[in-house]
Amino acid sequence: MNSSWLPQWLSRINSKLLSVLLATISIVAVLFLYFSQNAFLEAFEYKTYDLRFRDVRGAIPVEPSIGIIAIDDKSIAELGRYPWTRSQYARLLDKLRAAQAKAVLFDAFFPEREDMVNDQAFAAAMKRSGNAVLAQLYDFDADAQVIGVTGSLPELERAATGVAHINLLPDDDGVNRQALLLVESEGKQHPSMGLVAAMMALEQKEYTVDSFEIIVGERHIPVSENNSMWVNFTGPPKGYPRYSFTDVVNGRIPAEELRGKVLFVGATAPGIYDLRVTPFNQNTPGVEVHATIADNIISGRFIQQGGMTALVDMAFIILMGALAYFLTTRLNLYGAIPATTLLLAGYIWYANYMFGSGYWINIIYPTLSAILALLVGGSFRYLVLEKSAREMRSMFSSYLSPKLVARLEKDPEAAKIGGDNKDVTVLFTDIKGFTTFSESNPPQKVVSRLNEYLGAMVQIIEQHDGTIDKFIGDAIMAYWGAPLSQPDHAKLAMGCVVAMAVRMDELRAKWESEGEEPFAIRCGLHSGEVVAGNIGLAGKKMEYTVIGDTVNLASRLEGTAKYYGITYLVGEATYSSATDVCRYRELDKIRVVGKHLPVTIYEPQVGGGALSPVELERFDSALQLYRARGWSEAKSIFQALATELPHDKPTRLYIERCEYFIEHPPVADWDGVFNRAEK
């Protein structure tokens, strides 16, 4: 009997077992990733959460007992610039009390005293209403421990029915998907505004914290271990009835529309900047998020994840992986792939169906399990058992060109649209009065002069290892620290500014000697974190660039230089990292449009217009007196400097400010910050 077939048979059996083992390992690996909550995969799962709301389930009817008193553009136009005097809020409360509103929750706090009359009027109105709730905002450290709280004046909080926190819990991508229902501080639990609103609507004065749930009356709210719940968003903005603040206080809303309602008072006007990112919209007023949380609790419509849903997730991870591998044992490659695709389509339909019922069944991990089982176990079968390696290589080479394959092997991220965080310094330059120059000269001359200037600046930027991002007309945007990291990017950028100042002095002297009209530039510089990467449409139009607040602030500083009548202006982050490159004049502390935190700005002393060390010292001493409220003494020093420096606009600006504050002293806690009203 010929037994030569035996080793081959054993080899085939062993290969099959190895194929099963590889598929099993891939499934176990996905289970491990699920238990470890892999950040990369969780980010994708969060995106499916957003898509299921926006593109699958869509909007649902809102709880009819909830409404929003909108601080909107119409109200600001009628009642004046926001924030308003507290007498307006007192009028509002009296109107709502007369209309028999059930609860009034202010998505705002009033931490500073206005005056005794208006503060007392507001407090009295809250006592009369008996259903007003004020907001608090907690600050947390890196370990999620409370380190501070912002609230209203104590007498206002005492007059209110209660206070509630308005902290939201955005994920790493900035999208708000969870709501922090309770914050623990000083041994006490502090409820959120949404939870308090729901309790008032349900006429419940107490709540109970149990294992992974908060109980309010008959409502069992599913929460995580940090007492946060997944928000079941009802739809895009404007889903809840909005009543304009001015319409309510002026009696234009019928009382029956407000009777018995839980009303949230908050900003919806874009200019107030209380906008949040939600799965439905990137510009959702924060007050609507709090209303949605209350809606979920009142209506009992929750999104549940964890507990039994976690067991379901694990079961599907195993089942989908096993089924995908089973298909590879029964079908050839061209049959297994579409069959697995149909399997996944059916599972995704089921997950979306369950989502509509309030159960968040995971999509990413079971899908990954099926794909890995197909690729790992199935590919091994095709490569080893069916000897199809050559065919597989031939197939892939027909899909991808050799050049593209080589590029992807060398740098897989090169073709992706996404990016990563970089610490950079960004520079913006602009020509002063270029519009006037271009209108008063022929086009050929304008282009020639612009090319001469841009050519000189490009050379200097490249000599200092900068990256030129783009030309915006006569403006230049450049940066240091990307795409390759540069630890000394701020020093490199400041060295570039020094060289640019010298070169501009040379160019102006040359143009004047030739009898040509010279021009000057303005420059803004700021350092910080940005998102850097390829942006655009893959395969069509893409470019590597940097985006983020650092870029915006650098651009704002370039424009701010015009206000101070100077050429170069840098932010404090750049100054702190490049103090030894040149001398600086601390110019001001400003708060630019759209930003809450002030930034200290500095003028580099470069080029022919630099101040002497003595002049800088005198200016700084006057500035310190100014901030210490010694405006008369500061004015005297500034006036003396103005005589010596007749063209120095910052000195004249501070003289005007000193004169104004002598006549109109600011509030006692004035911080010396100048609020820029223009970009």
The predicted-structure confidence for 266-298, as pLDDT tens digits, reads as follows 988 887 777 889 999 888 999 999 999 999 999
Return the amino acid letter for 623.
L
Q: Which ranges of 99-217 does DSSP label H, i.e. alpha helix?
A: 116-129, 154-159, 193-201
Rounded (10°) angle between helices 5-36 and 308-330:
150
- The answer, yes or no, to whether residue 415 has pLDDT greater than 70, is no
Q: CB neighbours of 344 closer than 8 A, spacing ≥ 6?
A: 320, 367, 370
| pLDDT confidence of residue 143 | 82
User: Distance between CA atoms of 406 and 613, rounded to whole angstroms?
Assistant: 58
H/E run at residue 255 = helix 255-258
| pLDDT confidence of residue 398 | 31
Q: How confident is the model at residue 420 (pLDDT cuts 50, 70, 90)?
A: confident
Burial class of residue 520 (count of CB atoms within 10 Å of its CB; 0-12, 13-18, 19+): middle
| pLDDT confidence of residue 104 | 95
Write the pLDDT tens digit of every residue in 598-651.
889 999 999 877 888 999 999 999 999 999 999 899 999 999 999 999 889 999
Q: How confident is the model at residue 382 (pLDDT cuts 50, 70, 90)?
A: low
User: Distance between CA atoms of 514 and 185, rounded to whole angstroms?
Assistant: 72
User: Distance between CA atoms of 222 and 205, rounded to whole angstroms?
Assistant: 19
Backbone dihedral angles phi then psi of residue 572, each to the nearest 5 degrees: -65, -30
Q: Which residues of 357-371 are buried (b: 16+ CB within 10 A; e: fewer)?
A: ebbbbbbbbbbbbbb
Longest dimension (CA), the chain: 117
User: Distance between CA atoms of 259 and 257, rounded to whole angstroms?
Assistant: 6
Write the pLDDT tens digit of every residue in 218-248.
999 999 888 999 999 999 999 999 999 999 9
Domain ranges of the chain: 5-58+316-399, 66-299, 415-610, 617-679
Return the amino acid letter for 353.
Y
User: Distance between CA atoms of 49 and 352, rounded to whole angstroms?
Assistant: 10
Q: Is 416 helix (H, G, I), strand (E, B) or coil?
A: coil
Token reading at 591: 């708060």
- The answer, yes or no, to whether residue 12 has pLDDT greater than 50, is no
Token reading at 625: 């007196």
- Where is pLDDT greater, at 13 or 302? 302
Q: Which ranges of 52-153 does DSSP label H, i.e. alpha helix?
A: 73-79, 86-98, 116-129
DSSP-derived secondary structure letter, 373: I
| pLDDT confidence of residue 378 | 65
Q: How confident is the model at residue 406 (pLDDT cuts 50, 70, 90)?
A: very low
H/E run at residue 674 = strand 674-675
Q: Is 112 helix (H, G, I), strand (E, B) or coil?
A: coil
| pLDDT confidence of residue 257 | 92
| pLDDT confidence of residue 594 | 62
Going by their DSSP bridges, the two strands 176-180 and 169-170 should be labelled as: antiparallel
H/E run at residue 142 = none
Q: Which of 242, 233, 212 is nearest to 290 (CA)?
A: 233
Place of tokens 């991990």: 365
Percent residues over pLDDT 90 in the chain: 44
Please give the C-alpha separations between residue 392 and each of 20, 337, 382, 387, 407, in angstroms, as whole numbers: 21, 14, 9, 10, 20
Backbone dihedral angles phi then psi of residue 162, each to the nearest 5 degrees: -175, 180
Q: Count CB neighbours of 96 within 10 A.
A: 28
Q: CB neighbours of 4 closer than 8 A, spacing ≥ 6?
A: none
Q: What is the DSSP string of 275-343?
A: EEB-SS-SSEEHHHHHHHHHHHHHHT--BB-STHHHHHHHHHHHHHHHHHHHHHHHS-HHHHHHHHHHH
Q: Is 472 helix (H, G, I), strand (E, B) or coil?
A: strand
Going by their DSSP bridges, the two strands 146-150 and 275-276 should be labelled as: unpaired
- Give me the numbers of helices (H) and strands (E) for the chain, helices first please: 24, 26
DSSP-derived secondary structure letter, 129: H
User: Distance between CA atoms of 488 and 36, rounded to whole angstroms?
Assistant: 37
3-state DSSP helix/strand/coil % of the chain, to nearest 5: 50, 20, 30
Domain covering 415-610, topology: Alpha-Beta Plaits (3.30.70)
| pLDDT confidence of residue 593 | 67
Write the pLDDT tens digit of every residue in 132-166.
999 999 998 888 888 889 999 999 999 999 999 99
| pLDDT confidence of residue 332 | 65
Bridge partners of 182, per DSSP, are 191
- The answer, yes or no, to whether residue 676 has pLDDT greater than 70, is no
Q: Which residues of 486-516 are buried (b: 16+ CB within 10 A; e: fewer)?
A: beebbbbbbbbbbbbbebbeebbeebeeeee
Return the amino acid letter for 677.
A
3-state SS record for 538-580: CCCEEEEEEECHHHHHHHHHHHHHHHHCCCEEEEHHHHHHCCC
DSSP-derived secondary structure letter, 192: B
Return the amino acid letter for 400.
L
